Structure 1
Amino acid sequence: MTSTIIHEVRDKRPLIHHLTNQVVMNFTANGLLSFGGVPIMAKAVEESGEMASNADGVLINIGTIMRNDLEAMIDAGKAANKKGIPVVLDPVGVGATTFRKEAIRQILEEITPTVIKGNAGEMAQLVDIPWEIKGVDSVGSGNSDEIARKVAEKYKTIAFVTGATDYISNGKELVYNQTGSAILSSVTGTGCLLGSILTACLTANHSAIDSTLAAASFYGMAAEYTEKQNGVKGTGTFIPVFLDALSFSPEQLEGGEG
């Protein structure tokens, strides 16, 4: 299933509208281009809704959100909902400040995300489950499958809880992904880029839960492949090889050949 979805997305070359973290825009754009999608990043209120109407999917990531961004995010989400294209919401650091909590509350009141993706600490905040966080990072531990189910049930969406094991639920089904590399957690923007590739995968003609699992599995496979390459010594050498690996087919990654 993963291979079928990845090839379908690449044949389509979907245009993904990003309202995302300013820290990671360049990395996200290059990663999606390597994968086979087309990025556009437009956060101005004057055009965000119109841009979403012309796109194949919308990613909303609150990593560096400011007050002026919120209206643009809601406009884009509404336009995407109206058009019937996928919306991915990444509630980065939602538990870190009152402002972020309020922003996510407003977004979820106004739009219906296809998938909500975040680490366990972020997702726990959405369903009032206590979880230790540090800034935008999750440092606690607990029952991630329960969090996934509760988020999916509460918001009528697919919940994608990222971690060493990814938990993906639609409120009834629960699926897992265990591909990946620990190095990903040491590179800024890898979670944000995953959101971009996930949005692209959701444009395939498959169920949202299957497309989410395909995105998680492929992304993890690319990271595993990258970590094994002789020239990769740490985070600095990981990044360029990882960007290359995102352009490979699942078959190439599984065979260890670029």
Structure 2
Amino acid sequence: MSAENDKTAAEFSQNWKLIKKIIKAEKPLIHHITNNVTVNDCANLTLNWGALPVMAPAAEESAQMVENAAALVLNLGTISSRQLDSMLKAGRRANELEIPIILDPVGVGATKFRTEAAQKILSELNIDLIKGNKGEISFLAGKAAEVKGVESIGEYSDIGKSAGELARKLGAVVVVSSEVDLISDGSQLTEVDRGHPLLGEVVGTGCMLGSTLAVFTAAAGSSSLSLFEAAKTAVYYYSLAGEKAAKKEATPARFKIEFMDQIYLLR
């Protein structure tokens, strides 16, 4: 390991010790209005980090539920008109209370409705962090993008530039989930080259990364860490858990279980 890598690992370790201490003391509540396909995985992963998950998609209670939360996750994976209404209600209340919002614009650009939902959220709410794949982030940045279903296809040689432009436009931290993850706050850009290909063989690892980012964002609010520092630390340890799991299991189903356990062991 190079001296520069040693320095980076030491920085992440220091950040994680601080975040872990806050999570243990505060057990932050993470409110999700999220993807029906991965809701159980996101709940378990949040719990494995040491935080408390709540999934309250009903428009009748979403705003009230967020009042006790430390972060709000909005995931467009299985978006509907009713779910969008709930997201906007919870998001407005979160903005009023200065509770951070994490947006996962799953599949934006694939359909007109999904695109309009993302645009409405971004126009009406202040979003603190956006996590997406290369296609989703490029699309939101106004660049050419190819999204097939909820998957990014095509080449994105300027994705770092696109992430920075989107971060500056929205005043948010942007996380690009890929083989090499990128994190930008509009003035800084960091790469996290960790993880394992098996993370891409399990449905929902992107959604679970969104939950992870919410946990770390919530903890950062009670620390001296910036949102940018918390986000890159979250991506690093999430990816590290993937590496550790892949050393023990080589097939997707078994890997997924081991990955969840490695998150728990990191805490």
Q: Same fold (TM over 0.5)?
A: yes
The alignment partner of 1:183 has SS state of helix
1:57 aligns with 2:76: no
The alignment partner of 1:188 has SS state of coil
Alpha-carbon contact 1:168-1:213 (below 8 Å) kept: yes
Q: How many residues align?
A: 248
Report the alpha carbon displacement of residue 9 of structure 1 after superposing the two structures with TM. Answer: 2.3
1:228 aligns with 2:243: no
Matched residues in 2 for 1:194 and 1:3: separation?
19
Matched residues in 2 for 1:239 and 1:86: separation?
28
1:244 aligns with 2:258: no
Matched residues in 2 for 1:141 and 1:160: separation?
17
The alignment partner of 1:27 has SS state of helix
The alignment partner of 2:265 has SS state of coil
Q: Deviations over 1:68-107 (max 9, x none)?
A: 1111101111111111121100000001000011001110
Matched residues in 1 for 2:103 and 2:125: separation?
10
Report the alpha carbon displacement of residue 54 of structure 1 after superposing the two structures with TM. Answer: 1.5
1:177 alignment partner, one of 173, 176, 192: 192
Q: Deviations over 1:22-47 (max 9, x none)?
A: 00011111111111111000111111
Report the alpha carbon displacement of residue 139 of structure 1 after superposing the two structures with TM. Answer: 1.4
1:165 aligns with 2:184: no
2:125 alignment partner, one of 92, 111, 119: 111
Question: TM-score, normalized by length of structure 1?
Answer: 0.93
Matched residues in 1 for 2:92 and 2:181: separation?
28
Name the structure 2 match of 1:17: 31
Q: Deviations over 1:105-154 (max 9, x none)?
A: 11011111110110010011111111222211011112221121011011
Name the structure 1 match of 2:95: 81
Ranges of 4+ aligned residues in structure 1 off by more than 4 Å: none
Name the structure 1 match of 2:163: 148
Alpha-carbon contact 1:120-1:147 (below 8 Å) kept: no
Name the structure 2 match of 1:211: 230
Letter in 1 for 2:255: F
Matched residues in 2 for 1:112 and 1:244: separation?
34
Matched residues in 1 for 2:137 and 2:17: separation?
28
Q: Deviations over 1:41-69 (max 9, x none)?
A: 01111111111111111000000001111
Question: TM-score, normalized by length of structure 2?
Answer: 0.90
Letter in 2 for 1:56: A
Report the alpha carbon displacement of residue 166 of structure 1 after superposing the two structures with TM. Answer: 1.1
The alignment partner of 2:30 has SS state of strand
Matched residues in 2 for 1:160 and 1:16: separation?
19
Matched residues in 1 for 2:24 and 2:213: separation?
13
Deviates most, 130-139 or 4-13: 4-13
| Structure 2 unmatched runs, 5+ | 1-14
| Structure 1 unmatched runs, 5+ | 251-258
* Cα-Cα RMSD: 1.2
Matched residues in 2 for 1:197 and 1:49: separation?
22
The alignment partner of 1:85 has SS state of coil
Matched residues in 1 for 2:20 and 2:93: separation?
26
Matched residues in 1 for 2:125 and 2:231: separation?
19
Matched residues in 2 for 1:196 and 1:145: separation?
23
| Percent of pairs with identical residues | 38
